[in-house]
Structure 1
Amino acid sequence: MDRTPAAAATAADFLDRALLEEAAKKSGLLWVRADGQEQSRPLWHAWHDGAVVVVGDGGEQPLHGLTAGAGATVTVRSKDKGGRLTGWTARVVEPAPRSEAWLGAVEELKGKRLNAPDTDTITDRWARECRVLRLEPAGAGPDLLTERPDAMPDESHAVAPMPTSATTRRPIPAGLPKLLFKRRKS
């Protein structure tokens, strides 16, 4: 068995690649922050041909700031615990609609799309209205993963919730129980 530093690095690279692929395959949701954006956004995805593939815009999930040729930071959560498992930088690639790469990605994504309103014609709609993107790992060797179970960042990455008009429940009016009980007696 070869115990040289080069062999150890190769084994570590293989394990990092395996972690990235298995985490992306098993997690139904990942967090993506496009270069230049401040916040990560959750995206459902599929793993196809060495990259994460996503579909969005045009009635599907919004792909905030993800553009072909740009970069992104991907964080994958653990399927069983829901916490951060690994992270990596990605290169965003947009295959041409109906190209071989696009069709392969769409076949994987169709199986992951839940409650589609148009299951029979979803491929045509995605070609017409949506964008299919590949998030290819940009690093190599020891730089493949930016986060791994034995090397997580110290900061929490917690972000303030997005503004919303939703409110928490307020106390019921004092007279309401009397009104409700009066109706039952009648």
Structure 2
Amino acid sequence: MTSAVLDEALKKAALAWISVADGPALALWVMPLDGTLVVVSGPGEQHAPGLAEAARATVRLRGDTGGLIVVTEAAVARLTPGSEEWAEVAPQLAAKRLNASGTAEEVVQRWASTGCTVVRLTPVDEQPPVERPDLPADSGAAEPRETPARVETPRPFRLHRVKRR
């Protein structure tokens, strides 16, 4: 049995902070579906390391103001291409995918052929969600991770002295 806050947050979710085991929480695009969240990741899609292989994940959802309102544990179920559940969920997910090249059917075929994973995150009943006033007091912000995209830019070269006015 889930709480009313969690139910409402799941219905309105478009972005969730998802972490697997002790890994960092990643902001991932999600699609709400019948009290669960559906996430696609893989080549050409968002990067979610370890999510497809995990059994559990921690999901943090935000409210209308953008602040954290609920933290819950979720069971991870991977949808396999060709299954009945894949045929039901993947086209809905592809139709909601913004800026996708091609039709929803083409996107679903691309996901199946390139090895993208579609997972369903279902809140677990054994562990109640964390809501106010029990939410963490800290911001949850972490230091930026190292990335090759962050490079120091050199100062511009000036041949002559620049006069200030």
TM-score tier, shorter chain, comes to 0.7 to 0.9
What is the TM-score of this pair, normalised by structure 1?
A: 0.73
Letter in 1 for 2:13: S
CA change 1:127–1:155 in 2 (3 A) is: same
**Alignment-derived partner of residue 122 in structure 2:** 136
User: Contact (CA 8 Å) 2:12, 2:32: kept in 1 or not?
Assistant: no
CA change 1:87–1:69 in 2 (3 A) is: same
User: How far off its partner does 1:50 sit?
Assistant: 3.0
Equivalent-residue separation in structure 2 for 1:105 and 1:21 (angstroms): 20
Identity value in percent: 35
Residue of structure 1 aligned with 2:75, choices 83, 91, 98: 91
Letter in 1 for 2:132: P
**Alignment-derived partner of residue 123 in structure 1:** 108
CA change 1:167–1:177 in 2 (3 A) is: farther
Find runs of 4+ consecutive structure 1 residues off by over 4 angstroms: 167-178
Secondary structure at 2:79's aligned position in 1? coil
Residue of structure 1 aligned with 2:140, choices 112, 133, 157: 157
Larger radius of gyration: 1
Q: Give 5+ residue unaligned stretches, structure 2.
A: none
Residues 54-74 of structure 1, C-alpha deviations (whole Å, 9 max, x = no match)? 111021111211134521100
User: Contact (CA 8 Å) 2:40, 2:46: kept in 1 or not?
Assistant: yes
Equivalent-residue separation in structure 1 for 2:128 and 2:92 (angstroms): 24
Say how many residue pairs are matched. 161
**Alignment-derived partner of residue 29 in structure 1:** 15
Letter in 1 for 2:119: L
What is the TM-score of this pair, normalised by structure 2?
A: 0.81
